[in-house]
């Protein structure tokens, strides 16, 4: 008998029928003798409807009250799932984030978990009840409702698993697990059985939109083993855990693609201290998220600085950078949309050389031109034309025998 | 400057537009320097939708989880009203029943308030914030969500008014106040300016569906003065408070009518101890709400016992009473639908004689036949044919010069 935390997202609980399906799955796990904590999101569409309602009243609703409003979404789901379980004869009890003891800081709409005191949860588990916890929400130490922001329900599940010392945390979603590449793009992509936290982090931050990086980081910090799997079938998913020695035998774990990118290049930048900080602190102040930054060696005392960002943020970036270009005495700047980022990820790279060369070779053979390169210890990313990206991903996937 | 508790029902907050209207009214009261606690219900229709959702999952959802589910209805409204107030520049903060310190017993779906510890409410009032509290809900001492059952939001308002020692509690609803009779039936019915708790109790229990009796009882117990008034206009409403000597000058305060009644008569009941208890304890066990009970003196050792009840409960009552009729050796029983109850209420009756005679005279003159009579200290009720009820109400209203 194991103690398992399971998380079901908005699609998995999107209708009464689907909630009953989840209940049947949970009932089966319970009948096998497992202790169960089930974390659920709001039914799909509910959160959007609540936001729409608030916007009909005010274009700028206050963050504190948005949290009070949105927290109702998950509260509806926990009650309905508990009702479904009790209909199937399974003892169940639902708790809001506050009742489950999830204490956060006071940063409304994107609070961080400070600690978990799951007294009611533990007591209900001891009574052999299935415990259902509202994801995405918590409460400050002085009793105000908070929400955890994007990916908050995954974070609730990982954090609950750490707090109750669960044997396993299962993240049920609408995909089967983490793949070596997007199966819609690479038909022979295969599901990865095991992945290290660091690899998952790189995948997560690279557009393999299975989980937000913050949940993976939390899992890594508290050594929570978790599995990403589908709520619509019984296939085993992808297990994410601390790296093991045999994980290193695989050089490249997967290939990911991030579209909708844009690139800004500031040309003729005087090569002296304090220039880069001028640019990037201004962008940070304007809340523009920068992804890759590339600066090459300078020639004749000037250099080019390039960075990539989400295409949606390009207008703000333009407005922010333009006056600085003049100030720092650069010769100009160009912005380009229609680019994409291809990355290969694998902790095996640390102990294998020639991975970059193999990637560049594969891209060249496929006729894909590389515009920018950036590498980390377990990842190599290249910027290419968005139109050439699909054949680039396929070529890389084939090259590394995934 | 006064401290005022206001309660707005589901119709008053039924749309974003109406929530903004409530916010404008509250903003005006706040600008006049008043401290304000606003209790709100779920937007009209929301609670029914939630119940429908639960019924799609289970025909018998558990009471605890229904409370978790239904409590979200009011939580949505408090957030939206706070957002509306802050849009108007009025500092506001919303609290769930639990956050407002409303502690109840553990009888889910119809919990009773045990005590109120409004720490967060008082602290927010001290900061000059408008405090918005979710009606209808509370929390047990060990942290489970409860709801207060029918009329729960009124009860929340009255109880909050008692807890914060408010100067006045205003119950905003879709009617202007309490009338001497139903204006749809008696065109010259007039609004009552002041009413004692006891009179309001009799009106409340008699189908003047402005407020549930339990809220009035709570107000009486804690001497909370409250006003029933419309949220759609600025007319003064009806003030309900402890009785004053000049209230007694008015003999009859109002005439009320309750339709959809049924009458059961058990005939030839042996006149001996223990017979009535057999009948009515069985009905109580079957959760049938009995209204009037009439038993007249016996003749030849047998008597007739009649009682009235809501028509919807007649089938259950039949099934319960039938076997007992045989057991106790009664000669039979009859059940009759299509009756109504007319009542005249007024604390002045205590010191005035002849009220019953005047009522009977008025009904006789109007050709309305009386089937049953029951009286209390401040009320006289008669059962009449439902078809004759409207002219009966008009006749009584005219007779007492209302």
Please give the Cα distance from A314 to A173 (Å, whole number).
31
DSSP A368: P
Does the pLDDT value for residue A247 go beyond 80?
no
User: Exposure of B328 by Cβ count < 10 A (0-12 exposed, 13-18 middle, 19+ buried)?
Assistant: middle
- Yes or no, beta carbons of A20 and B96 under 8 Å apart: no
- Is A139 within 8 Å of A148 (Cβ atoms)? no
| Torsion A236-A238-A239-A243 (CA) sign | positive
Per the model's pLDDT, the better-predicted residue between A356 and B351 turns out to be A356
Looking at beta carbons, which residues of chain A come within 8 Å of B19? Answer: 57
Does the pLDDT value for residue B204 go beyond 80?
no
Which phi and psi angles does B57 have, rounded to 5°?
-95, -40
- Is A114 within 8 Å of A104 (Cβ atoms)? yes
- Yes or no, beta carbons of B62 and A86 under 8 Å apart: yes
SS3 A25: helix
Q: Specify the fold of B255-399.
A: VC0802-like (3.30.2130)
- Yes or no, beta carbons of B58 and A99 under 8 Å apart: no
Does the pLDDT value for residue A117 go beyond 80?
yes
Predicted confidence (pLDDT) per residue in B219-260, tens digit = 999 999 999 999 888 899 999 999 877 777 778 889 988 888
Which of A57, A79, A144 has the CB atom closest to B16's CB atom?
A: A57
Mutate which of A80, A120, A123, A147 to disrupt the B interface (most B C-beta within 10 Å)? A80
Which of A72, A80, A144 has the CB atom closest to B75's CB atom?
A: A72
Nearest to A138 by CA among A180, A177, A96: A96
Looking at beta carbons, which residues of chain B come within 8 Å of A69? Answer: 75-76, 79-80, 83
Q: Give the per-residue pLDDT at A327.
A: 87
- Non-local (6+) Cβ contacts of B157 within 8 A are B5, B6, B7, B39, B135, B169, B171, B215, B226
Range name among A44-53, A377-386, B87-96 with the lowest pLDDT average = A377-386
- Yes or no, beta carbons of A120 and B143 under 8 Å apart: yes
Q: Residue length, chain B?
A: 402
Nearest to B110 by CA among B52, B149, B155, B138: B149
User: Exposure of A21 by Cβ count < 10 A (0-12 exposed, 13-18 middle, 19+ buried)?
Assistant: middle
DSSP calls for A289-337: PEEEEEEPPPBTTEEEEEEEEEGGGHHHHHHHHHHHHHHTT--EEEEEE
Predicted confidence (pLDDT) per residue in A269-327, tens digit = 888 778 888 888 888 888 888 888 888 777 778 888 889 998 988 999 999 998 898 88
CB atoms within 10 A of CB A336: 16
Three-class DSSP labels, chain B = CCEEEEEECCCCCCCHHHHHHHHHHHHHHHHCCCEEEEEECCCCCHHHHHHHHHHHHCCCCCHHHHHHHHHHHHHHHHHHHHHHHHHCCCCEEEECCCCCCEEECCCCCCCCEEEECCHHHHHHHHCCCEEEEECCEEEECCCCEEECCCCHHHHHHHHHHHHCCCCEEEEEECCCCCECCCCCCCCCCCECCEEEHHHHHHHHCCCCCCCCHHHHHHHHHCCCCEEEEECCCCCCCEEEECCCHHHHHCCCCEEEEEEEEEEEEEEEEECCCCHHHHHHHHHHHCCCCEEEEEECCCECCEEEEEEEEEHHHHHHHHHHHHHHHHHCCCCEEEEEEEEEEEEEECHHHHHCCCHHHHHHHHHHHCCCCCCEEEEECCEEEEEEEHHHHHHHHHHHHHHCCC
Q: Whole-number mean pLDDT of chain A?
A: 91
DSSP A180: S
Which of A54, A62, A79 has the CB atom closest to B69's CB atom?
A: A79
| ipTM given for this complex | 0.82
- Yes or no, beta carbons of B75 and A71 under 8 Å apart: yes
Q: Give the per-residue pLDDT at A244.
A: 78
Rounded to the nearest angstrom, the minimum Cα separation between B7 and chain A is 19
- Non-local (6+) Cβ contacts of A258 within 8 A are A206, A207, A340, A341, A343
Q: Which residues pair with B7 in a beta bridge?
A: B39, B171
- How many interface pairs between A and B have CB atoms less than 8 angstroms apart? 112
Per the model's pLDDT, the better-predicted residue between A386 and B299 turns out to be A386
Mutate which of B55, B58, B146 to disrupt the A interface (most A C-beta within 10 Å)? B58
Q: Give the per-residue pLDDT at A205.
A: 55
Q: Whole-number mean pLDDT of chain B?
A: 91
Question: Quick one: pLDDT band at residue A383, thresholds 50, 70, 90?
Answer: very high
Nearest to A342 by CA among A324, A356, A330: A356
β B194-196/B290-295 pair status: unpaired
Residue of A nearest to B132 (CA): A65
Mutate which of A76, A122, A136 to disrupt the B interface (most B C-beta within 10 Å)? A76
Which of B20, B76, B86 has the CB atom closest to A72's CB atom?
A: B76
Containing H/E element for A113? strand A113-116
Written out in words, the top-level CATH class of the domain with range B3-174 is: alpha beta
Looking at beta carbons, which residues of chain A come within 8 Å of B50? Answer: 76
Please give the Cα distance from A381 to B91 (Å, whole number).
49
Please give the Cα distance from A96 to A104 (Å, whole number).
14
Average pLDDT over residues A39-44: 97
Instruction: Using the CB atoms, write b or e for B15-28: b if 16+ within 10 Å.
Output: ebebbbbbbebbbe
Looking at beta carbons, which residues of chain B come within 8 Å of A20? Answer: 57
Which phi and psi angles does B94 have, rounded to 5°?
-105, 145
Please give the Cα distance from A140 to A111 (Å, whole number).
9
Q: Give the per-residue pLDDT at B387.
A: 94
Q: What is the CA radius of gyration of chain B?
A: 23
Please give the Cα distance from A145 to A64 (Å, whole number).
8
Range name among A21-30, A104-113, B63-72, B196-205 with the lowest pLDDT average = B196-205
Domain boundaries, chain A: 3-174, 255-399
What is the pTM assigned to this prediction? 0.83
Q: Give the per-residue pLDDT at B86.
A: 97
- Hey, what are A168's tokens? 């396993």
Average pLDDT over residues A347-375: 87
Q: Give the per-residue pLDDT at B47.
A: 95
- Hey, what are A1's tokens? 């008998």
| CA trace torsion B313, B318, B321, B325 (10° rounding) | 150
Which residues of B fall below an 8 Å CB-CB distance to A?
A: 16, 19-20, 50, 53-54, 56-58, 60-62, 64-66, 68-69, 71-72, 75-76, 78-80, 82-84, 86-87, 93-94, 96, 99, 120, 143-145
- Is B177 within 8 Å of B191 (Cβ atoms)? yes
Nearest to B125 by CA among B15, B30, B252: B30
Rounded to the nearest angstrom, the minimum Cα separation between A235 and chain B is 26
Containing H/E element for A23? helix A16-31
Which of A62, A120, A145 has the CB atom closest to B83's CB atom?
A: A62
Nearest to A262 by CA among A308, A231, A226: A308
Predicted confidence (pLDDT) per residue in B300-312, tens digit = 788 888 999 989 8
Could you identify the residue written with the tokens 């919807």?
B312
Which residues of A fall below an 8 Å CB-CB distance to B?
A: 16, 19-20, 50, 53-54, 56-58, 60-62, 64-66, 68-69, 71-72, 75-76, 78-80, 82-84, 86-87, 93-94, 96, 99, 120, 143-145
- Hey, what are A244's tokens? 């093991």
Nearest to B23 by CA among B95, B105, B80: B80
Looking at beta carbons, which residues of chain B come within 8 Å of A82? Answer: 62, 64-65, 68
């Amino acid at each position: 008998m194991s103690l398992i935390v399971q998380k079901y997202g908005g699609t998995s609980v999107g209708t009464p029928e689907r909630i009953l399906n989840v209940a049947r799955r949970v009932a089966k796990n319970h009948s096998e003798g497992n202790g169960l904590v089930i974390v659920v999101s709001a039914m799909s569409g509910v959160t959007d409807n609540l936001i729409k309602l608030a916007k009909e009243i005010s274009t700028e609703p206050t963050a504190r009250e948005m949290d009070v409003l949105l927290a109702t979404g998950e509260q509806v789901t926990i009650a309905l799932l508990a009702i479904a379980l009790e209909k199937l004869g399974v003892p169940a009890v639902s708790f809001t984030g506050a009742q489950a003891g999830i204490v956060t800081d006071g940063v409304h709409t994107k609070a961080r978990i400070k600690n978990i005191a799951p007294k009611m949860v533990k007591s209900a588990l001891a009574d052999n009840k299935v415990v259902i916890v509202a994801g995405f929400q918590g409460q400050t130490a002085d009793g105000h409702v908070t929400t955890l922001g994007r990916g908050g329900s995954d974070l609730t599940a990982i954090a609950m698993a750490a707090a109750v010392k669960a044997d396993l945390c299962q993240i049920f979603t609408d995909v089967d697990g983490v793949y070596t590449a997007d199966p819609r793009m690479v038909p022979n992509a295969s599901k990865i059985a095991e992945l290290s936290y660091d690899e998952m982090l790189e995948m997560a931050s690279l557009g393999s939109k299975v989980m937000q990086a913050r949940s993976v980081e939390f899992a890594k910090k508290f050594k929570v083993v978790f599995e990403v799997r589908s709520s619509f079938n019984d296939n085993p998913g992808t297990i994410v855990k601390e790296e093991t020695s045999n994980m290193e035998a695989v050089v490249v774990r997967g290939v990911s693609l991030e579209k909708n990118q844009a690139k800004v290049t500031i040309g003729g930048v005087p090569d002296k201290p304090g220039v880069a900080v001028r640019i990037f602190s201004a962008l940070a102040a304007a809340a523009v998220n920068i992804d890759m930054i590339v600066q090459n060696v300078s020639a004749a005392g000037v250099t080019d600085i390039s960075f990539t960002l989400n295409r949606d943020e390009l207008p703000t970036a333009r407005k922010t950078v333009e006056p600085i270009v003049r100030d720092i005495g650069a010769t100009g700047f160009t912005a380009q949309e229609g680019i994409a980022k291809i990355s290969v990820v694998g902790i095996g790279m640390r102990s294998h050389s020639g991975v970059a060369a193999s990637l560049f070779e594969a891209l060249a053979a496929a006729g894909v031109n590389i515009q920018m390169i950036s590498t980390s210890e377990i990842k190599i990313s290249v910027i290419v034309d968005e139109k050439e990206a699909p054949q680039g991903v396929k070529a890389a996937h084939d090259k590394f025998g995934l």
